[in-house]
Amino acid sequence: MQSKRGRLDRYLCTHLQTHRKAVRELMLLGNVSVDGLIVKDMDMQVDEFSHIQLGDQILQANTPVYWMLHKPIGVVSATKDAQHKTVIDLLDCEARYELHIAGRLDLNSSGLLLLTNDSRWSNALMSPTHKVDKVYRVTLANPLTEEYIAVFAAGMYFGFEDITTQPAKLVILANNVAEVTLSEGKYHQIKRMFGRFRNPVVGLHRLSIGDIVLDNTLAPSESRALTASEVACIR
Ligand code: URA
């Protein structure tokens, strides 16, 4: 999702359907304010959360919204789908149709899903340079061995994308249950990594993303707004 940052004069031209000269005049007359302050600088940068007014008329007043959902199995991580219920349909949030997903889960995966209308926040969360850890509990069809730990830590070559996965941490919790920590999110990454061992994933549940942990009071399909400190741990 692209960040919606841009020049104020461009925003006003588009929004008021007028040309730069008219916008310049409005600004020089002191008619335009951003976040409560009169602005005369044509080059000023604004984003989707800048409060923009023309005189008393509010042109833009969006507030950033951040939610966590306990995604159940069988619900698609998309904003629209012709066949399945989507995660957006489950959200208990008025602004839900304006939100996008920060890090999808497969149809048959469950656990922590984050949604927001703040593209800068979700980009920081998902950007490969930030290397935010995602922790999954994985249930396998067959028993695990110590060999998995070294192979996950070394990284795995995926010929289709011509990439080697970042070192991943695997902890064996039980005969056929592991906790896996990834710092990236390639397509079906966990299923494909266990696929190398011909060991099908039968359960995949995301426990955390960075310092944001799935709230254990949320039953599957329940959601809540993130707290200010949860939002602040991704910047
Ligand atoms: N890896 C997968 O294979 N599926 C998910 O949903 C998440 C990570």
Q: Which atom of ligand 1 is nearest to the CA of 182?
A: 8
Share of the chain above pLDDT 70, in %: 99
Q: Point out the least confidently predicted range of 80-94, 97-111, 155-169, 212-226.
A: 80-94
What does the pLDDT average to over 105-120? Answer: 95
Give the DSSP letter of residue 126: H
Residues 58 and 118: their CA atoms lie apart, in Å, by: 20
Locate the ligand 1 atom nearest the alpha carbon of residue 104 and give its number: 6
Contact 71, 37 (CB under 8 A): no
The pLDDT score that the predictor gives to residue 112 is 98
* Cα(73) to centroid(ligand 1), Å: 12
Whole-number Å distance between alpha carbons of 229 and 164:
34
Beta bridge partners of 52: 34, 60
Residue 37 belongs to domain spanning: 6-60
Per-residue pLDDT for 22 more than 90?
yes
Distance CA 111, CA 222 (A): 11
Assigned token pair, 37: 């302050």
Residue 188 Cβ contacting ligand 1 at under 6 Å:
yes
Answer whether 189 contacts ligand 1 (Cβ < 6 A): yes
Q: Which residues have C-beta within 8 Å of that of residue 18, sequence separation ≥ 6? A: 12
Q: What is the mean pLDDT of residues 121-134?
A: 91
Same-domain pairing of 53 and 142: no
187 CB within 6 A, ligand 1: no
Query: Could you tell me if the CB of 105 is within 6 A of ligand 1?
Result: yes
Whether 39 and 112 map to the same domain: the answer is no
Q: Which residue has the higher pLDDT, 2 or 102?
A: 102
User: What whole-number distance in Å separates Cα of residue 111 and Cα of residue 206?
Assistant: 5
Question: Could you give the CA distance from residue 13 to residue 137 in angstroms, rounded to a whole number?
Answer: 50
User: What is the per-residue pLDDT for 201?
Assistant: 98
Band (pLDDT 50/70/90 cuts) for residue 94 is confident
Instruction: Show Cβ contacts of residue 8 under 8 Å, excluding neighbours closer than 6 positions.
Output: 32, 34, 39, 41, 42, 43, 44, 45, 46, 50, 52
β-pair partners for 208: 135, 213
Are 221 and 139 members of one domain?
yes
Within this chain, do residues 23 and 77 fall inside the same structural domain, yes or no?
no
209 and 143 part of one domain: yes
CA distance 121 to 231: 8
- Domain containing residue 140: CATH number: 3.30.2350.10
